[in-house]
């Protein structure tokens, strides 16, 4: 294999001129575009990382909000239970006091009716006593007859 030195130098000079033209007109803009692309990709990665961080932060905030909402709902339920328990206790207490009042009124009514019955019975007994006394006066009897007469009138009073 034989090397032609003239061709070699011509190719070397052509390569040098081509390299100089490329570096002056092509490599600069090409490297500039590549650098812009590199910056763009870096910005996209940074934006993606920021978006991921914001998404995580929002997720945590939503998680906390959900936990707070659950706590609030639980508190509302507990408050409703306490309120219903208080109302139930108040209703039972009211019913007990009403029953006690009605019982007291019934006892007073019974006592009043008892007193009226006793007063009526006394009136009847006094009337009977007068009747017995008048019959005894009409009829003079001995002790045994008088006891039978009193027992007879008492039985009549008891049956009325």
* Contacts of 131 by beta carbon, 8 Å cutoff, 6+ apart: 153
How big is the CA angle at 131 (ends 130 and 132), to the nearest 5 degrees? 90
For 11, 15, 27, 72, 156, the CA distances from 30, given in Å and listed in that order, are 24, 19, 5, 61, 141
pLDDT, mean of residues 87-104: 92
Q: Global pTM?
A: 0.42
Tokens of 137: 């006066």
Tokens of 15: 């390569």
Residue 10 has pLDDT above 70, yes or no: yes
Backbone angles phi, psi at 102, to 5 degrees: -65, -40
Q: What percent of the chain has pLDDT over 90?
A: 55
Reported as a single tens digit per residue, the pLDDT across 116-134 is 888 887 777 767 776 777 7
Q: Could you state, in order of their start, the residue ranges of all structural domains in the chain? A: 47-154
- Rg of the chain over Cα atoms, rounded to whole angstroms, equals 62
Reported as a single tens digit per residue, the pLDDT across 45-59 is 999 999 999 999 999
Residue 43 has pLDDT above 70, yes or no: yes
């Amino acid at each position: 294999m034989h090397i032609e030195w003239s061709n070699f130098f011509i190719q070397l000079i052509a390569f040098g001129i081509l390299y100089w033209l490329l570096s002056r007109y092509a490599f600069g803009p090409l490297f500039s575009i590549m650098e812009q692309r590199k910056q763009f990709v870096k910005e996209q990665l940074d934006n993606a990382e920021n978006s991921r961080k914001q998404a995580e932060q929002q997720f945590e905030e939503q998680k906390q909000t959900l936990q707070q909402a659950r706590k609030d709902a639980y508190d509302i339920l507990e408050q409703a239970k306490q309120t219903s328990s208080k109302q139930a206790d108040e209703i039972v207490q009211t019913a007990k006091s009403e029953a006690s009042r009605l019982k007291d009124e019934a006892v007073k009514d019974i006592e009043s009716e008892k007193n009226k019955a006793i007063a009526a019975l006394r009136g009847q007994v006094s009337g009977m006593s007068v009747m017995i006394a008048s019959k005894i006066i009409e009829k003079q009897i001995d002790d045994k007859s008088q006891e039978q007469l009193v027992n007879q009138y008492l039985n009549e009073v008891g049956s009325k």
